[in-house]
Amino acid sequence: MLRNKYLLVAALLLSATIYSCKKETQEVVQEDEAAKIIKIDNTTSSNRVDLTNEGVTLNFQAETETNAFGKTTEATATAFPFQLVYKGKIEPQLGVNNNPLSALEVSAYGNNYAIAYQTPGAAYGGGVDVIQIQSGVPQLVSSVSTPDADITCINNGGGRLYLGMDLKTYESYKYPAPAVVGIVKTNGGSLSEPQAVGLEGYSTKDVKYNEYNGKLYAASSSNGGISVISFNGQKASRTAFQPYGGSRSIAISNRDIIATNGYSYATFDANTAAETNYKHWPIPSNSVGIGSVASLTNGNFLFGNNYYLIHVDKTTNALLDQVDVGGWVNSISIVADKIYVSTGNSLVVAQIENNKIKVIAKTHFQSTFGGNFNVISSRIAGSYVFVACGSRGTYVFNLKKS
């Protein structure tokens, strides 16, 4: 009898411990402390807006492309009768040691464009700028600084900005790991009500908002995986998690949640994050596995690795085409039927014809602006092109018919 009583007490204690651990993992929002991590400044400023050389024009040029089967074709700029008209740039934020941060990525919402920054190298520190195009030129309208956290990726939706962060001081806030998602409410260019949600893993690699169900998905690497973040009113919490080692990127393909980890990709349940349809990466790479991933309107995937843009059938996993675009694929942006790929100091324009990738134009930034021009990512939003170039800042162009 005494032994049974002891077992009952032990079971209750174990249940309480499991519940406590589960609660700590899932309900990790600390709204009062988020303002210490995410410092908001809604001050309009022109100090970091550089309009030198405004109006300079970049033409798209004919290039050659080589597909996976060794066939070379000539790209035709006439198939893409546009040019880039330079409107100005936003100089990067300065870090805690007065060092220029690295412009990483741009997320567009309405007439607002949010630029994410991080500290190059091993040190921490980042931020976000929100800019608008006013009278045809960029204007800085608000910003965020995160002195103890790199911003690694950015997304928006549902009236909020979502900031993938690597937080140096995560233990001080009792988060389980450095990977954290910051959430900031948007009202036009004004920012408010910061929140932070802790994840698993060392680094937050991607965040994607799903407009179909109002949930946020985050990929975290190094003992991380795929997290589902849900909203109860305005309050965010992590409601599901699936380990998926080395997670790199997320795409939403016809409402399916797709994630990659460099050597595979899989489908994850939109509510529970349960993993299905695991597919080992079938494409040989010279040295690096899957990096960027994007979804076409028909649900098929575009992957990027070192030098190759890769088209894969979602249903059969078949390789449809693989094209050498002449540089490391840093980002893929799809607008209508056009695919914009950032490679080194270039912007490549392609489209899909009969399941094959056809490169139709390319422009080079370094030949116009000089120096070391490394395009980290590009974002096409309406008639504007935003090119994030590390410590050089973010260049803004108007995509204009020539």
What is the mean pLDDT of the segment spanning 122-137? 93
What is the mean pLDDT of the segment spanning 61-67? 59
Give residue 371's pLDDT: 82
Q: Is 196 left (phi over 0), alpha (psi -120 to 50) or beta?
A: beta
Q: What is the mean pLDDT of the chain?
A: 85
Is 398:387 a contact under the CB 8 Å cutoff? no
Give residue 225's pLDDT: 96
Would the pLDDT of 71 be above 50?
no
Would the pLDDT of 281 be above 90?
no
Tens digit of pLDDT for each residue in 98-124? 889 999 999 999 999 999 999 988 889
Q: How many structural domains is the chain composed of?
A: 1
Would the pLDDT of 62 be above 80?
no
Query: Which element (helix H / strand E) includes 138?
Result: strand 137-146
DSSP string, 183-233: EEEEETTEEEEEEEEE-SSSEEEEEEEETTTTEEEEEEESS-EEEEEEEET
CATH number of domain containing 7? 2.130.10.10
What is the mean pLDDT of the segment spanning 80-105? 92
What is the mean pLDDT of the segment spanning 42-58? 91
Tens digit of pLDDT for each residue in 317-336? 888 998 988 878 889 999 98
Distance between CA atoms of residues 401 and 380, nearest Å: 15
- Tokens at residue 158, please? 């549902």
Tens digit of pLDDT for each residue in 285-320? 555 566 678 889 888 989 887 778 989 898 888 889
Give residue 21's pLDDT: 36
Range of the domain at 203: 2-401
Question: Which residues lie closer than 8 Å to 223 by C-beta, 6 or more apart?
Answer: 177, 200, 201, 202, 243, 245
Question: Which residues lie closer than 8 Å to 84 by C-beta, 6 or more apart?
Answer: 57, 58, 60, 347, 363, 385, 397, 398, 399, 400
**pTM of the prediction?**
0.86
Tens digit of pLDDT for each residue in 199-229? 999 999 999 999 999 999 999 998 899 999 9
What is the mean pLDDT of the segment spanning 174-193? 94
